[in-house]
Structure 1
Amino acid sequence: MRVTLLGTGDTTGTPTVGCDCDTCNEARERGIERTRFSVHVENERTGESLLVDFSPDFRHQFLTQETPLPDAAVVTHIHFDHLDGLGNVYRLLDHLDVHATNEVDPMKDESVAGTIRSKFDYLDRIEVHDQTPLEPFRTCGFDVTFVPVVHPPLLCYGVAIEDPETGAKLSISGDSTFAIPEESREVLADPDILLAEALVPSSLCEYHPAGGHDHDENGVPRTFGTKHMTREGAISLGEDLNADVTRLVHVAHYYPPEEAFEEPLAVDGEVYDL
């Protein structure tokens, strides 16, 4: 299993367009990017590859990273920075299997799979497959499981991807607070690598109208506001899940420049062979 981090940024990416903050300027000077979130997972046994989420930066990512176009994809939720890149596959692929959950979101009266069908009805070469959360399915030679996480107001999912032949395992938290349900944690547990969302450092919680939540034993908030994990929360999640390696993704440009590119925060283009 070869894992390539195509996009490690949040909804605006780093550098952010039109922003001259110290962190964005530092990224420009270093030639570092955090484009919108997406992960490429290649099965070297079968020659197939799986894409996790369709970043709006799809074209740029596949032009700049040495990864083949996907044979199949999974979508964690319907926010712009995770779904809207699907339109980029127009005229690039003859066929693409897209897997998404069948659970109806009461806020939308539609499942993630249903939203993809209605929003991208013009893409006649994609085939959307409904999947039930917590029930594994096989694609690209991998066993894949969607797990519910907490990202209000919409339903959102993390993903566990395992190679049944080699035992390699990738877990992705999805966009979530630290309060991931226990049954989801059990599925995500013991990965070779965990990609955990870490929007901001916990020190910024004082500036959020909702403050910070899910405090650890030292009073450090592991949730920023009501929708995202802090850096400290993501690191703690990795420890709780017994991850061999934890890389922090979905990172915003609000990190101070002296912290923004330090371990274990990921940047685009990192590759891991599991």
Structure 2
Amino acid sequence: MGVKFTLMGTTAGLGVPAFHCNCIACREARADPFWARTRSGAVLETGKENILIDASPDLSKQLLRERIQSVDYLFVTHWHYDHFGGIGDLEYYVKLERKWPVALFLPPSAVDDFAKVYPFLEEVFVIEPWEFGKSYAFEGIELTVLPARHSIETGGILLAGSKRAAYFTDTAGLPAPTARQLQGVDTLICDATFNGANWFPHSHMNWQEAIALGESIRAQHTVLTHLAMHYSTPITAAQLQEKLKDYAQVSLAYDGMVLTI
């Protein structure tokens, strides 16, 4: 039996719908809350421990929705607000319920930034800089941080259990050594930020580029995430689903999507 891996959030910095936006994607999400998307993050539930990957500004809402009542570890992939803005949501969980610190794995370049932004969380977390290529063993799963290609130091996550899955929400393709390590992965969950023109080709991908990446590493299944439905050319989830009918091994991520690894 594999480990449960839940995509708690599946969009980029604004969320869908955005409070200020009335594009077709935001109208769709308001009409059907299933297509509403919170900022990207995920959780591994091993049965003994819960491991968060990123802490979006929507973290508290996500934990409530997925009925996650404990957190044991937190890996932050990179120091952009939509991936760390919910760290403070764990403060009173630790102080009032858990009673001992959560292990927080940060990019080495973000350790000083964390201390500046969250000096009041000194007793809430035990800080450890993660290392590229280092594997962390948990019950039934091994987690390895690998280099992504983004605007700042960023790690993607390789999960190895009964299957292999790669979680790369913010990346413009992959560095060659990472791509070699991910060859033949069972599931690639990756950055598909844009529909149409890619505004930031050195940091993100559009959905066609994400599909091409999955094909290039021979992923058995590619899941498109970090979807900013209003960026570049707005598109609804229904419209994107229609386009994906031509790709048998490609799926559209949604909040609460569960994979078994």
TM-score bin (small chain): 0.7 to 0.9
1:72 CA drift (Å): 0.5
Distance of 1:90 and 1:25 partners within structure 2: 34
Paired letter, 1:236: A
- Out of 155, 159, 162, the position equivalent to 2:160 is 162
How is 1:42-61 mapped onto 2 (pairs within 5 angstroms)? 42-44=45-47, 47-61=48-62
Secondary structure (helix, strand or coil) at the match of 2:42 reads strand
| 1:147 alignment counterpart | 146
Secondary structure (helix, strand or coil) at the match of 1:200 reads coil
Distance verdict in 2 for CA 1:87–1:141, change over 3 Å: farther
Distance verdict in 2 for CA 1:141–1:119, change over 3 Å: farther
| 1:63 alignment counterpart | 64
Would the aligned equivalents of 2:107 and 2:153 in 1 still touch at CA under 8 Å?
no
Q: Higher helix proportion, which one?
A: 2
Structure 1 segments of 4 or more deviating over 6 A? none
Distance of 1:39 and 1:8 partners within structure 2: 9
Paired letter, 1:96: V
1:259 CA drift (Å): 2.4
Would the aligned equivalents of 1:99 and 1:113 in 2 still touch at CA under 8 Å?
no
Would the aligned equivalents of 1:49 and 1:68 in 2 still touch at CA under 8 Å?
no
Would the aligned equivalents of 1:253 and 1:260 in 2 still touch at CA under 8 Å?
no
The answer to whether the aligner puts 1:101 opposite 2:107 as a matched pair is yes
Paired letter, 2:259: Y
Distance verdict in 2 for CA 1:69–1:246, change over 3 Å: farther
Would the aligned equivalents of 1:10 and 1:81 in 2 still touch at CA under 8 Å?
yes
Q: Deviations over 1:10-58 (max 9, x none)?
A: 10011111211111111111212210000011113xx111110001001
Would the aligned equivalents of 2:46 and 2:138 in 1 still touch at CA under 8 Å?
no
Q: Deviations over 1:68-91 (max 9, x none)?
A: 432101111000000111010011
Secondary structure (helix, strand or coil) at the match of 2:92 reads coil
Distance verdict in 2 for CA 1:69–1:188, change over 3 Å: farther
TM (normalized to structure 2)? 0.85
Distance verdict in 2 for CA 1:252–1:181, change over 3 Å: same
| 1:172 alignment counterpart | 167
- Out of 224, 248, 253, the position equivalent to 1:248 is 224
- Out of 223, 226, 246, the position equivalent to 2:202 is 226
Aligned length: 241
Q: Which runs of 5+ in 2 are unaligned?
A: 245-250
Query: What do you get for the CA RMSD once the two structures are aligned?
Result: 1.9
The percent identity for this pair of structures is 27
Distance verdict in 2 for CA 1:74–1:138, change over 3 Å: same
| 1:36 alignment counterpart | 39
Would the aligned equivalents of 1:159 and 1:174 in 2 still touch at CA under 8 Å?
no
